[in-house]
């Protein structure tokens, strides 16, 4: 029976937003432990120079260690998945509120 609970817990944790938030948090911790973020911002070109910023980050990633590249990839993937979940939740809530509003409007007529 313990195995069933363990698999259930593993399925609940690995499926959905909590696992993505944990992945994002662990990725941020890995990034901050291996990269001096303050130095990156200090050496970064001016914010108005978008081409320079692109070239800076492209150069920084191409010269980074494999661990940093993997962590940045995990950050991007988990961030995009969280944004997708938020958009999906907002759309679902809007759709359900439209259904409720249309049901209320029908009742008044």
Encode 15-30 in three state secondary structure.
CCHHHHHHHHHHHHHH
The yes-or-no verdict on residue 73 having pLDDT over 80 is yes
Q: What are residue 63's phi and psi, to 5 degrees? A: -100, 0
**How high is the pLDDT of residue 89?**
86
Confidence at residue 55, expressed as pLDDT on a 0 to 100 scale: 93
Helix axes 66-108, 17-34, angle to 10 degrees: 150
- Is the pLDDT reported for residue 7 higher than 80? no
Q: Which two tokens stand for residue 47?
A: 């914010």
Confidence of residue 95 (pLDDT cuts 50, 70, 90): confident
Whole-prediction pTM: 0.67
Q: Pick 85 or 108 by higher pLDDT.
A: 85
- pLDDT tens digits, one per residue of 33-42: 999 888 988 9
pLDDT for position 105: 64
If pLDDT is split at 50, 70 and 90, which confidence band does 47 have?
confident
Count of domains observed in the chain = 1
Contact 31, 68 (CB under 8 A): yes
Residue 37's domain comprises: 2-108
Share of the chain above pLDDT 70, in %: 83
């Amino acid at each position: 029976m313990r195995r069933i609970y363990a698999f259930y817990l593993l399925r609940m944790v690995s499926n959905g937003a909590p696992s993505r938030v944990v992945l994002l948090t662990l990725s941020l911790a890995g990034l901050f432990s291996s990269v001096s973020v303050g130095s990156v911002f200090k050496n970064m070109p001016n914010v108005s120079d978008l081409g320079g910023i692109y070239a800076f980050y492209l150069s920084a990633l191409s010269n980074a260690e494999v661990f940093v590249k993997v962590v940045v990839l995990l950050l991007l993937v988990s961030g995009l998945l969280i944004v997708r979940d938020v958009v999906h939740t907002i759309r679902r809530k809007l759709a359900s509120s439209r259904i409720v509003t249309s049901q209320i409007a029908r009742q008044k007529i």
